[in-house]
Structure 1
Amino acid sequence: MHRRLVFEEPVSRAAIWSRRLALFGLTVVVLAVVIFRFGQPSVERLAPIAGAYVFVLLALLLSLAAFVRIWQDGHRGIGIAAFAFVLSLLLLLPLAYAGFQLATLPLISDVSTDIDEPPAFSRSRVALAARQGLVPPDVAPERRKAQRQGYPRALPIVLELPAEIAYDIARKASVNLGWRVLEGAAPGGRSGAGRLDAVAHSRVLRLVDDITIRIRPRADGSRIDIRSASRLGGFDFGANARRIAAFEEEVKLLVELR
């Protein structure tokens, strides 16, 4: 009886290393995000996340190289390379989306529904302590105009309700959205305006954004203006405009439920 020897083609080393790098990149990204979430946000602490994506990009390039070698030399490992390729693409999708936003949205990290007279942030002891002594700086008028072009729907909320009721609705909307309300002042006094100051966090990285809301009485009701500013960086990837839109939707929902 004769044995028949079967020689199998070797597994592509590029495919093996592409999978290793993709899994390593995934691990580092997850760990870096977790560490960032539970620390003090800063641009420097984003470096490990950026470094992790170097491995992800290398994994993508190696998977492409593996496809070429497998096609040319008949090596095995197409499934391994495909896994690394898909995983790398999935990890790179957030970066691609961020790049698209950077190219299409205005370079701003402070959005207000009133670009001519934006609501001012409170400088009380409570508010300053919550913001670690920081007060979001004023934004140049030309950048506010760019905001209007980039976020045309960030407009004042006009209600056919008294300012006192609008204040209660604005406060409840802030709480419903998960914001931490720092302090508030009901409409009245010399100016007749009310205000709320709050703090919000992004979902993934827990980046901190500061919010101030102004409620003014009108002859036919009230007007609510909201301003949301990011503490980190000069570009917010549209986060503040989305937060303002979510606040407007919540206010309208609460008005309908009255």
Structure 2
Amino acid sequence: MLRVSTDRVRQWLPVAAWLLLAAAIVALALLALAGPAYRSGLLELSSAFGLFRYGAWTGLLVALLALPVAGLCLWLGRAHQSLAVALIALLIGAISVGLPYSWLQKARSVPPIHDISTDTEEPPAFEAIAPLRADAPNPVAYAGEETARQQREAYPDLETMILNVDRNTAVEAAVHVAQSMRWILVDVDAPEGRIEATATTRWFGFKDDVVIRIRETTRGSELDIRSKSRVGRSDVGANAERIREFRARLEARLQEDMP
């Protein structure tokens, strides 16, 4: 009786392994397609996030089922191909659930805000970009003191940059850095020291708007930068990361230009 049962299990193991691999590929495809489907306008944001969730749950289910299948392959022996297929399915399933989990953990580690400025008392204002945000769920106005408080607690390093170069030099360097980061420049007003641009995220294609304000000082200039998402309550830290990257690149650019 055991012999018959073992033979049947051995017979169905390849089928189970390949089905799990197919399901794992589907899970990964759902994750991969969620962003482009929203970016191209094929899906609304809620539907795209639905694909994302389905991919994660499918990946979790595959990973949980692939473990016993791989264990049976090892126990029965002489099922090396099925074992390899089951392990590949397990790996893809783990990736499909691991990526959304890491994204969720990151979202939980930052405040649920989407408007970040190095000057929270007098944040740079959007002017040229304001009409482009007319239909955006997040209004163009600064989010307010509660957002400022959460930002100060989460990102205390984001402060006004003090530069030892004049405003024109700072504007020129800032424009160069914005272009190197592939932002779309909307307006550059050198006399006023104002730069406005739009950054697009790679996967979902979210539009985040940036305004840079550069003021003359007695020793050079000071630069403030504000980055704000058009959609979403939380930016999952994207705007703060963008500002940090800009600051680092600007400092490097100015160092290169020094005699």
Taking structure 1 as the reference length, the TM-score comes to 0.84
Distance 1:240 1:19, change over 3 A: same
Residue 162 of structure 2, aligned match among 155, 158, 164: 158
Q: Report the Cα distance in structure 1 between the residues aligned to 2:168 and 2:43, rounded to whole angstroms.
A: 36
Q: Report the Cα distance in structure 2 between the residues aligned to 1:144 and 1:41, rounded to whole angstroms.
A: 33
Aligned residues, how many?
244
Q: Report the Cα distance in structure 1 between the residues aligned to 2:20 and 2:68, rounded to whole angstroms.
A: 9
Structure 1 residue runs without a partner (length 5+)? 1-6, 188-192
Partner of 1:21: 23
Distance 1:172 1:30, change over 3 A: same
Q: How much has 1:205 moved relative to structure 2?
A: 1.9
Q: Report the Cα distance in structure 2 between the residues aligned to 1:106 and 1:128, rounded to whole angstroms.
A: 25
Alpha-carbon contact 1:21-1:58 (below 8 Å) kept: no
Q: How much has 1:56 moved relative to structure 2?
A: 1.8
Partner of 2:97: 92
Q: Report the Cα distance in structure 2 between the residues aligned to 1:19 and 1:69, rounded to whole angstroms.
A: 16
Give the SS at the match of 1:114.
Answer: coil
Give the SS at the match of 2:254.
Answer: helix
Q: How much has 1:40 moved relative to structure 2?
A: 7.6
Residue 120 of structure 1, aligned match among 107, 119, 125: 125
Letter of the aligned partner of 1:233 in structure 2?
A: G
Give the SS at the match of 2:188.
Answer: strand
Alignment pair present for 1:54 and 2:57: yes
Distance 1:16 1:133, change over 3 A: closer
Alignment pair present for 1:83 and 2:102: no
Alpha-carbon contact 2:35-2:205 (below 8 Å) kept: no
Give the SS at the match of 1:182.
Answer: strand
Q: Report the Cα distance in structure 2 between the residues aligned to 1:41 and 1:246, rounded to whole angstroms.
A: 31
Per-residue Cα deviation, 1:93-148 (whole angstroms, up to 9, x for no partner): 321221221221122111111122111111x4xx2443355443322313212212
Map of 1:107-256 to 2, 5 A cutoff? 107-122=112-127, 124=128, 127-134=129-136, 135-187=139-191, 193-256=192-255
Residue 102 of structure 1, aligned match among 107, 111, 123: 107
Distance 1:217 1:133, change over 3 A: farther
Per-residue Cα deviation, 1:165-193 (whole angstroms, up to 9, x for no partner): 21222122111211011012223xxxxx5
Q: Report the Cα distance in structure 1 between the residues aligned to 2:169 and 2:122, rounded to whole angstroms.
A: 23
Q: How much has 1:217 moved relative to structure 2?
A: 1.3
Structure 2 residue runs without a partner (length 5+)? 1-6
Q: How much has 1:73 moved relative to structure 2?
A: 6.6
Q: Report the Cα distance in structure 2 between the residues aligned to 1:40 and 1:218, rounded to whole angstroms.
A: 49
Alpha-carbon contact 1:10-1:75 (below 8 Å) kept: no
Q: Report the Cα distance in structure 2 between the residues aligned to 1:69 and 1:110, rounded to whole angstroms.
A: 52
